[in-house]
Amino acid sequence: MNGTDFYRISLKEELSRRCDRNPRYSIRSFARTLGIDAGALSRILSGKQIPSFKMTQTFLNTLDLTPEEQEQFLASIAETHRARAPIRLGRGFKRVKAQPVRTTELSIDTYRVIADWYHAAIMELTFTNGFDSSPKAIAQELGITELEASLAIDRLIRLELMESRNGRLVKTNLQLSTADKHLTTPALRKNQRQFLEKAIESLEDAPIERRSMTSMTMAVNESKMPEAKQLIREFNRKLCSLLESGKRGRVYNLSIALYPLQKEQE
């Protein structure tokens, strides 16, 4: 990833945040907010068009960016102009100094991939029979919007978790690290909350032959919790190995919740 990607990532993530708040939000809606037509915004997001200096100023007045992010946003557009057409570089961009590449883009991507459930689901879809790589088909399979699917695919490719081979998306062997707990702990909590919500939806929507949900209430010896966690991990691996053998036709999520029902006393 290079510094010239920052402005497109910032625009895509702002669009994604607005879609989170309103699933009916669209590129057309975002374009109206930014004061440009939807076609121009689509070309900018895909890298086919570079914003002018005047357009960039409008974006900066609209987007909720910190002063540091605004500098990086402006510098990334200026660097893109310099790389593609230095002779036609406008007066406004000539005054913009190059900025060192920062890890902000990677942090945004990493957080979203860990936090939002459909990223893992998209990667697992690649193993299913008859997988269709188009955002429209993926959106229909997972019950998300086409825009969410398209933005998620972009993130997964940027993080090299997926790649396109002969026009088909495939999952790579790269694994996403969750070592930075300042980043991943909130993301993992959000991810677990989403999967619990999906389980409730499945309880209402999925036929009984396609789901298994059990629970058991017990008084426990808490000193045995490390052993219990180890047994759960072993069970997860064995069940995963069993269910992933042979032809794969549908993406599932396995969640085993073991937690205290009593509140902690001060």
Q: What is the pLDDT of residues 217-242, one digit of tens each?
A: 999 999 999 999 999 999 999 999 99
- Counting residues of the chain whose pLDDT is more than 70, the rounded percentage is 87
pLDDT at residue number 9: 87
pLDDT at residue number 1: 47
Phi-psi group of 245: left, alpha or beta (phi > 0 → left; psi -120 to 50 → alpha; rest → beta): beta
What residues does each domain of the chain span? 3-101
Cβ atoms of 58 and 35 closer than 8 Å: yes
More confident residue, 98 or 176: 176
Please, which pLDDT band fits residue 89 given cuts at 50, 70 and 90?
A: low
Q: What is the pLDDT of residues 123-155, one digit of tens each?
A: 999 999 999 999 999 999 999 999 999 999 999
Q: What is the pLDDT of residues 11-56, one digit of tens each?
A: 998 898 898 888 889 999 999 999 999 999 999 999 899 998 888 9
Cβ atoms of 176 and 113 closer than 8 Å: yes
